[in-house]
């Protein structure tokens, strides 16, 4: 570990302390490909193999030469970076390219409109905001129709041109058999239903960001619960029991009472109202511990959502941009959404870029004026995004084939480690370059020091691999026994072999329950 600075840290002061405890206090001074460099005590550069790849933001590696050259060219040409409220043809180009990929990989015939953002959480919040704008607009239309139908029924009853249907009172459940009372009861019941907050749906374990809106969809209670009063709440569905979705949806369904007027008879009918704002899901859950959604679960979610008119937001922030072996991980499981969100690698590892794609037929044109951000769709990050897409698409998508091949090579090595240490490694799973290695639960470890620290286990494992093997790795945010591997498509065989050797050593330490060695005591 580096010496503790004399001056206290002011930027996230407690993070420095945590990093020190874990043996992760290093300042990286240079980055290239899958390597980060920091200085050792003699001031010499020490190369660290970066297996987390900026948590999935560097599919092409750190400072990819083509991306860097493009970034320099943008700046050298003095292209405007911030010119809001003017035409942005390059943003249109990015949207067009993404549409081409959607058509090729997902068979989407309909266009998707693009709204640009700065981060993954923001892209998801844009999808939520848009879905809610769409819901409240539909709600307002429904409200108008209910009012009109009720007043028509009232007029017909007052004029005596119609009579109430025999079951009218029973449908509403009112005992007082009076038309005015019935109309009022329907209005009151509807007002209550129509003011209900929107229902959001997501899978257990999901991670969709940490801003006020998106954190409600991030399952991890320590990230979410302190902020639950700030926004609409989400119902979490167990990913391994998709049948639970139908039950949850049934429980959340709400209806309103509408009046019909047909052949001189006023009837009361119960109609569904749009209560579901969106189902947000990752095709491969990242922070939950790298869980690939099955085709069956995807199909089930799609059917249930279609039945109740709930839009689907597919969060490809971590799984997208080629990491899974196709540009969209949804392609591999037949998942189709009304919204897709991208971020992380969209910025090529040098810019902050994100985008929300919205199915054209759901798009509310007011949204262009209702939503904006100073930095979104800027001339720098958007042009970088275009370059990254071009680089991924080069040679008929050679990068996607590389992601599959390098991912398989990595997974083969990790599986070999698992086979040698089945008592230590529980499972290896993932797709392409989104791989997780899960250790057996250390909260029941033999060594008391390991049991005590089990809730931070993956971070201590990371500290050990950093100290002993110059490997940078982290657990997933919500499953600390799973280490995540999200390197670039340039991951070499030598790096994979080095990873295998380091993990065998770590597994040996765990098999021996050598807490002192693992924790660096
Ligand atoms: N969605 C997913 C699936 C993510 O993995 C993440 C980040 N880990 C986010 C959203 C949030 O992205 P950001 O950190 O850019 O806000």
Q: How far is the CA of 297 from the centre of ligand 1 (A)?
A: 22
Question: Quick check: 216 and 224 in contact, CB under 8 A?
Answer: yes
Q: Is the CB–ligand 1 distance for residue 207 below 6 Å?
A: yes
At residue 329 the predicted structure's pLDDT band, cuts being 50, 70 and 90, is very high
- Average pLDDT (347-376) is 96
DSSP state letter for 8: P
At residue 322 the predicted structure's pLDDT band, cuts being 50, 70 and 90, is very high
Residue 503 pLDDT greater than 80, yes or no: yes
For position 3, what pLDDT does the model report? 56
Q: Is the CB–ligand 1 distance for residue 286 below 6 Å?
A: yes
DSSP 3-state assignment of 475? Answer: strand
Phi first, then psi, for residue 311 (nearest 5°) are -65, 150
Residue 437 pLDDT greater than 80, yes or no: yes
Q: How far is the CA of 218 from the centre of ligand 1 (A)?
A: 10
Q: Mutate which of 317, 323, 340, 376 to test ligand 1's pocket (most atoms within 8 Å of Cβ)?
A: 317
pLDDT tens digits for range 9-22: 888 888 888 888 88
DSSP 3-state assignment of 326? Answer: coil
Q: How far is the CA of 315 from the centre of ligand 1 (A)?
A: 9
Q: Is the CB–ligand 1 distance for residue 287 below 6 Å?
A: yes
Q: Return the ∠ at Cα 36 (arms to 31 and 37), rounded to 5°.
A: 95
Residue 111 pLDDT greater than 90, yes or no: yes
State the ipTM, two decimals: 0.99
**How much is the mean pLDDT over the chain?**
95
Q: Mutate which of 208, 285, 375 to test ligand 1's pocket (most atoms within 8 Å of Cβ)?
A: 208
E-assigned strands of 210-311?
234-237, 255-262, 265-272, 276-281, 284-285, 291-292
Q: How far is the CA of 240 from the centre of ligand 1 (A)?
A: 22
For position 458, what pLDDT does the model report? 96
Q: Is the CB–ligand 1 distance for residue 317 below 6 Å?
A: yes
Cα gap 190→274, rounded to integer Å: 13
Distances (CA, A) of 66 to 37, 61, 302, 321: 20, 11, 39, 17
Counting from 1 in the atom list of ligand 1, the atom nearest the Cα of 122 is 16
For position 10, what pLDDT does the model report? 87
Return the number of other C-beta atoms located less than 10 Å from residue 11's C-beta.
Answer: 6
Question: Reading across the β-sheet that carries 425-431, which strands appear in turn?
Answer: 425-431, 434-439, 479-485, 474-476
At residue 4 the predicted structure's pLDDT band, cuts being 50, 70 and 90, is low
| H, E, C per residue of 270-297 | EEECCCEEEEEECCEECCCCCEECCHHH
Q: What is the distance in angstroms between the CA of the first residue and the CA of the last residue of the chain?
A: 13
pLDDT tens digits for range 275-309: 999 999 999 999 999 999 999 999 999 999 999 99
At residue 6 the predicted structure's pLDDT band, cuts being 50, 70 and 90, is low
Counting from 1 in the atom list of ligand 1, the atom nearest the Cα of 316 is 3
Q: How far is the CA of 55 from the centre of ligand 1 (A)?
A: 9
Distances (CA, A) of 484 to 18, 50, 97: 20, 11, 30
DSSP 3-state assignment of 503? Answer: helix
Higher pLDDT, 4 or 302: 302
Tokens of 242: 């998709």
Counting from 1 in the atom list of ligand 1, the atom nearest the Cα of 121 is 16
pLDDT tens digits for range 208-246: 999 999 999 999 999 999 999 999 999 999 988 878 999
Q: Is the CB–ligand 1 distance for residue 119 below 6 Å?
A: yes
Q: Is the CB–ligand 1 distance for residue 55 below 6 Å?
A: yes
Report CA torsion sign: 387, 389, 392, 397. Answer: negative
Cα torsion for 119, 125, 126, 131, to the nearest 10°? 160
Counting from 1 in the atom list of ligand 1, the atom nearest the Cα of 206 is 3
Q: How far is the CA of 89 from the centre of ligand 1 (A)?
A: 27
Question: Quick check: 467 and 26 in contact, CB under 8 A?
Answer: no
At residue 520 the predicted structure's pLDDT band, cuts being 50, 70 and 90, is confident
Q: How far is the CA of 229 from the centre of ligand 1 (A)?
A: 22
Counting from 1 in the atom list of ligand 1, the atom nearest the Cα of 124 is 10
Q: How far is the CA of 408 from the centre of ligand 1 (A)?
A: 24
For position 368, what pLDDT does the model report? 94
Residue 2 pLDDT greater than 60, yes or no: no
Residues forming beta bridges with residue 257, ordered by sequence position: 270
For position 521, what pLDDT does the model report? 82
| Percentage of the chain modeled with pLDDT above 90 | 92
At residue 5 the predicted structure's pLDDT band, cuts being 50, 70 and 90, is low
Q: Is the CB–ligand 1 distance for residue 343 below 6 Å?
A: yes
Question: Quick check: 454 and 515 in contact, CB under 8 A?
Answer: no
Q: Is the CB–ligand 1 distance for residue 318 below 6 Å?
A: yes
Q: Is the CB–ligand 1 distance for residue 209 below 6 Å?
A: yes
Phi first, then psi, for residue 396 (nearest 5°) are 60, 35
For position 74, what pLDDT does the model report? 98
Q: How far is the CA of 434 from the centre of ligand 1 (A)?
A: 14
Q: Is the CB–ligand 1 distance for residue 125 below 6 Å?
A: no
Residue 217: exposed, middle, or buried by beta-carbon count in 10 A (0-12, 13-18, 19+)?
buried
Residues with Cβ within 8 Å of 214's Cβ and at least 6 positions away in sequence, in order, are 121, 122, 124, 125, 128, 208
Q: Residue of the nearest CA to atom 10 in ligand 1?
A: 208
Query: CA 255 from chain center: how many Å?
Result: 30
- pTM (global) more than 0.90: yes
Q: Residue of the nearest CA to atom 5 in ligand 1?
A: 318
Q: How far is the CA of 210 from the centre of ligand 1 (A)?
A: 8
pLDDT tens digits for range 459-499: 999 999 999 999 999 999 999 999 999 999 999 999 999 99
Q: Is the CB–ligand 1 distance for residue 120 below 6 Å?
A: yes
């Amino acid at each position: 570990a580096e010496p503790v600075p004399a001056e206290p840290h002011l930027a996230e002061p407690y993070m420095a302390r945590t990093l020190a405890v874990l043996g992760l206090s290093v300042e990286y001074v240079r980055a290239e490909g899958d390597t980060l460099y920091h200085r050792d005590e003699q001031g010499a550069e020490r190369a660290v193999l970066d297996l987390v790849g900026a948590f999935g933001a560097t599919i092409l590696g750190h400072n990819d030469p083509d991306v860097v050259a493009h970034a320099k060219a943008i700046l050298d040409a003095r292209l405007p970076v911030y010119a809001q409220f003017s035409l942005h043809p390059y943003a249109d180009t990015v949207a067009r390219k993404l549409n081409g990929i959607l058509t090729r990989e997902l068979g989407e015939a309909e266009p998707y409109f693009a709204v640009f953002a700065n981060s993954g959480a923001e892209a998801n919040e844009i999808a939520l905001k848009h879905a809610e704008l769409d819901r409240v607009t539909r709600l307002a239309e429904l409200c108008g129709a209910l009012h009109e139908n009720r007043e028509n029924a009232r007029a017909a009853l007052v004029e005596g041109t119609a009579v109430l249907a025999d079951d009218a009172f029973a449908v509403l459940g009112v005992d007082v058999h009076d038309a005015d009372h019935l109309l009022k009861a329907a209005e009151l019941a509807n007002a209550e239903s129509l003011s209900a907050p929107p229902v959001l749906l997501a899978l257990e374990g999901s991670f969709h960001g940490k801003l006020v809106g998106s954190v409600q969809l991030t399952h991890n209670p320590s990230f979410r619960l302190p902020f639950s009063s700030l926004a609409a709440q989400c119902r979490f569905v167990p990913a391994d029991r998709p049948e639970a979705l139908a039950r949850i949806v049934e429980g959340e369904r709400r209806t309103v009472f509408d009046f019909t007027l047909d052949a001189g008879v006023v009837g009361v009918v119960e109609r569904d109202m749009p209560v579901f704002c969106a189902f947000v899901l990752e095709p491969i859950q990242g922070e939950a511990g790298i869980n690939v959604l099955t085709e069956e679960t995807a199909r089930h979610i799609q059917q249930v959502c279609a039945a109740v008119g709930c839009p689907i937001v597919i969060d490809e922030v971590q799984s997208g941009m080629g990491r899974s072996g196709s540009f969209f991980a949804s392609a591999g499981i037949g998942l189709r959404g009304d919204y897709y969100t991208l971020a992380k690698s969209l910025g090529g590892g040098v810019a902050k870029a994100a985008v929300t794609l919205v199915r054209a037929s759901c798009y509310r044109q007011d949204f262009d004026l209702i939503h904006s951000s100073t930095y979104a769709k800027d001339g720098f990050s958007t042009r970088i995004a275009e370059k990254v897409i071009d680089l991924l698409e080069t040679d008929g998508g050679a990068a996607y084939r590389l992601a599959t091949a390098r991912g398989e090579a990595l997974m083969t090595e990790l599986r070999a480690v698992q086979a040698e240490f089945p008592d230590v490694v529980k499972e290896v799973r993932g797709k392409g370059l989104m791989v997780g290695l899960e250790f057996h639960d250390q909260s029941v470890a033999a060594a008391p020091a390991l049991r005590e620290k089990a809730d931070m286990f993956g971070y201590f494992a990371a500290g050990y691999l950093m100290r002993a093997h110059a490997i940078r790795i982290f657990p997933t945010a919500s499953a600390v026994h799973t280490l995540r591997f999200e390197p670039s498509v340039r991951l070499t065989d030598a790096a994979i072999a080095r990873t295998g050797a380091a993990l065998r050593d770590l597994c040996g330490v765990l098999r021996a329950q050598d807490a002192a060695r693992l924790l660096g005591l």
